[in-house]
Amino acid sequence: MQELSKSQLARLAIREFKIITDSLAIRGFYRPSGRLGKALEGCLRDLSPEIYGSMNDPRVVEIKGLEYVIDRLPQGIEQATKIILTDEDQFDETPFMAIEPLRRRRISYRISDRELCFIVSRGISEVYDIVTHMAFLNIEARKIHRRMLDDYGNPRMEWKALERVVNQKNDLTVTELDSAIWNLSIILGRPYHETREAYDSLEKNRRESQSNNGLFSLIYNLGWRIENEHRSKDDTLVIYFTPSLMKIIGHHRYGKIWASHIKERLFDLGLSSRPLHIVSANLHSVVNLFYGYAAVTGAEKSAGDKDLYGFLCGLRHKKDEIIALAQSHGLVSLPDRSGANTDCQIIDTALLDTVDLHPDLGFDLSREKNERPVILVMDYAFGAQAFELMENLLKPWSSNSETSLLHVGSISIMGKAGILTGETGDIMLATAHVCEGTSDNYIVENDLAVEDFNGELAVYTGPMATVLGTSLQNRDVLEMFQKDWRAVGLEMEGGHYQKAISAAIIKGFIPSNTRTLYAYYASDNPLKTGNTLAAGPMGDEGVKPTYLITKVILEKIMADFK
């Protein structure tokens, strides 16, 4: 029997994880501590994702991975023993509290201290994301539980100290806090400074956004959840998938409503006959480039003349002023009402004539106003949701028994991705998208080139790997993408966007010469230890690549690609 390579074994683990998850969703429920839950954990252990670091080391708790997961799951997840995944949001007139994680646009509802309901509106990628995080959380919870009791089944001294801290009502003194973190570091098997960093990070998020219950509570309740499962089967964690959830995946219920609202607004505004340029990006970079310079005066404007990117970095405290000015000069905000969790903006560039643009921006405003582009900015999709949204957006619009096509001039996809060949903050331009786990591979006719960026940052061109999830990758798989496919990076949406664009061209919804622009900035390098997404957000390091990509895209759109 032929021996499989490490990358083949890793890809087999990803495939098995996907198949098990799909079958569990059809089955309707599973217990993370049960047979199928342990099968998922086995796949995750075999894969050993880079983002989960020391997950497979039984001696230590993977604290950076815990931070990453907790920022993407609802507050109180460590206490839950019943989790329901559904597509139906029927909580508008109920007493149940809505919760949104710090770093994921997903809504959950707290039914009780022990029960949470996730509203899954972003497709199958969101299901994989949640299940992956729960599998990892259960692995770490069992590690914590093993450190909870001594050889005689009694609570260890350090655990008793943790329990006192969790139950203490008053704030800890500096000395008490240092002692508590030291005790916790013994439980976690981590150095004091690593435990301190995790505590400070989670505590900051807890105080500012109420996104978690703090590190002490997290560790304590994860340990006790496993102990309670051992004591009573009634306290075993169960994850349910409602029947309605599987019916909507692949049927694009949310995407149809989302796209319908956008096209209806374009027609109401009288913009449907104008050239439309779709940009998938964050909702601040385009607005800030168009309107940020005009929204400031005096010394701030003078400083902006010297350093465009430093100036843009300082606009965070000017959001209200920028939006107010923008709304009187062509910006129409479209908050999502469909449940797709993807907000949009419409920008009518015919109303930019009186806007004071930054001198470094080469925007062509010479065309007649009725020929100037209309820009639709759509917030980032999540994984396979990208196909659902783009497919429905590019379909013809039916109104008053008439069917009309949008006049799509270009589609730009910009975002962050993991880089395989360079450093954090570098730029990647896609020449193809290679979809993990399928035969869907797409060559990209990318209208962006290295020379467009004038050497301001390092730019790499090559295929991009569109993966099932950032938490389902390890070094062997990434090196396979890099070596066999010559991939320069990995992301989750590009291939799905490209599939929808290709389908729209084949169906005649958009011209075959529709311009496509794909650019990503490197938010992490998963092949470098300590430089994965679990290391935390980029901060100011991401400002220049984000705005440089946005600037190049907008200059091409405004020049009509001449």
Residue-wise pLDDT for 492-513, tens only, equals: 999 999 999 999 999 999 999 9
C-alpha–C-alpha distance, residues 199 and 178, integer Å: 11
pLDDT value of position 528:
83
pLDDT value of position 105:
87
Dihedral angle sign, alpha carbons of residues 142, 146, 149, 152: positive
C-alpha–C-alpha distance, residues 290 and 184, integer Å: 49
Tokens coding 38: 């342990």
In this predicted structure, the answer to whether residue 202 has a pLDDT above a threshold of 90 is: yes
C-alpha–C-alpha distance, residues 438 and 420, integer Å: 21
Q: Is 534 within 8 Å of 440 (Cβ atoms)?
A: no
Helix (H, G, I), strand (E, B) or coil at 140: helix
Tokens coding 251: 């049927």
C-alpha–C-alpha distance, residues 470 and 53, integer Å: 13
pLDDT value of position 4:
83
Residue-wise pLDDT for 54-110, tens only, equals: 999 999 999 999 999 999 999 999 999 999 999 877 888 899 989 999 999 899 999
pLDDT value of position 403:
84
Dihedral angle sign, alpha carbons of residues 77, 79, 85, 91: negative
C-alpha–C-alpha distance, residues 455 and 101, integer Å: 38
Question: Which amino acid would we find at residue 459?
Answer: V
Unique residue bearing structure tokens 């969101």 = 126
Pairing of strands 115-119, 238-241: unpaired
C-alpha–C-alpha distance, residues 508 and 103, integer Å: 38
Q: Is 533 within 8 Å of 418 (Cβ atoms)?
A: yes
Question: Which amino acid would we find at residue 284?
Answer: H
pLDDT value of position 398:
81
Which of 297-306, 396-405, 459-468 shows the lowest per-residue confidence on average (mean pLDDT)? 297-306
pLDDT value of position 379:
97
Query: Looking at domain 252-558, which of 3.60.15.10, 3.40.1360.10, 3.90.1640.10, 3.40.50.1580 is its CATH number?
Result: 3.40.50.1580
SS in 3 state form for 213-266?
Answer: CCHHHHHHHHHHHHHHHHHCHHHCCEEEECHHHHHHCCCCHHHHHHHHHHHHHH
Question: Which amino acid would we find at residue 178?
Answer: D
pLDDT value of position 529:
66
Q: Is 188 within 8 Å of 54 (Cβ atoms)?
A: no
Of the chain, the percentage scoring pLDDT greater than 70 comes to 97
pLDDT value of position 232:
93
pLDDT value of position 2:
67
Q: What stretch of H or E contains 174?
A: helix 174-188
Could you tell me where the DSSP H helices lie in 432-513? 475-484, 494-506
pLDDT value of position 212:
96
pLDDT averaged over every residue in the chain: 93
Residue-wise pLDDT for 110-149, tens only, equals: 999 999 999 998 889 999 999 999 999 999 999 999 999 9
C-alpha–C-alpha distance, residues 439 and 437, integer Å: 7
C-alpha–C-alpha distance, residues 96 and 291, integer Å: 40
pLDDT class for 560, splitting at 50, 70, 90?
confident
Helix (H, G, I), strand (E, B) or coil at 308: helix
- Write down the domain spans for the chain: 6-246, 252-558
C-alpha–C-alpha distance, residues 494 and 140, integer Å: 32
Q: Is 472 within 8 Å of 16 (Cβ atoms)?
A: no
pLDDT value of position 250:
65
SS in 3 state form for 328-351?
Answer: CCCEEEECCCCCCCCCEEEEEHHH
pLDDT value of position 268:
94
pLDDT value of position 522:
95
**Mean pLDDT value across residues 1-20:** 89
pLDDT value of position 41:
97
Q: Is 358 within 8 Å of 390 (Cβ atoms)?
A: no
Torsion on CA atoms 107, 207, 129, 196, rounded to nearest 10: -170
Residue 333's φ and ψ, nearest 5 degrees, are: -85, 140
**Mean pLDDT value across residues 514-530:** 91
C-alpha–C-alpha distance, residues 409 and 53, integer Å: 44
What do you get for the CA distance between the two ends of the chain, in Å?
A: 58
pLDDT class for 562, splitting at 50, 70, 90?
low
pLDDT value of position 536:
66
Residue 35's φ and ψ, nearest 5 degrees, are: -60, -45
Residue-wise pLDDT for 424-479, tens only, equals: 999 999 999 999 988 889 999 999 999 999 999 999 999 999 999 988 999 999 99
Unique residue bearing structure tokens 């914590």 = 144
pLDDT class for 304, splitting at 50, 70, 90?
low
pLDDT class for 538, splitting at 50, 70, 90?
low
94 vs 413: which has the higher pLDDT:
413
Across the strands, what pairs with 402? 399
B/e letters for 386-413, b = 16+ CB within 10 Å, e = fewer, are bbbbbbbbbbebeeeeeeeebbbbbbbb
**Mean pLDDT value across residues 295-304:** 78
Helix (H, G, I), strand (E, B) or coil at 283: coil
Please, is 243 exposed, middle or buried when counting C-beta atoms within 10 Å of its C-beta (0-12, 13-18, 19+)?
A: exposed
**Mean pLDDT value across residues 19-25:** 94
C-alpha–C-alpha distance, residues 559 and 551, integer Å: 12
Q: What stretch of H or E contains 37?
A: helix 35-47
Helix (H, G, I), strand (E, B) or coil at 490: strand
**Residues sharing a CB contact under 8 Å with residue 217, sequence separation 6 or more, in sequence order:** 78, 166
**Cβ count within 10 A of residue 495:** 27
Unique residue bearing structure tokens 């496919």 = 485
CA 350: distance to chain centroid? 33
According to DSSP, residue 77 is labeled G
Helix (H, G, I), strand (E, B) or coil at 67: helix
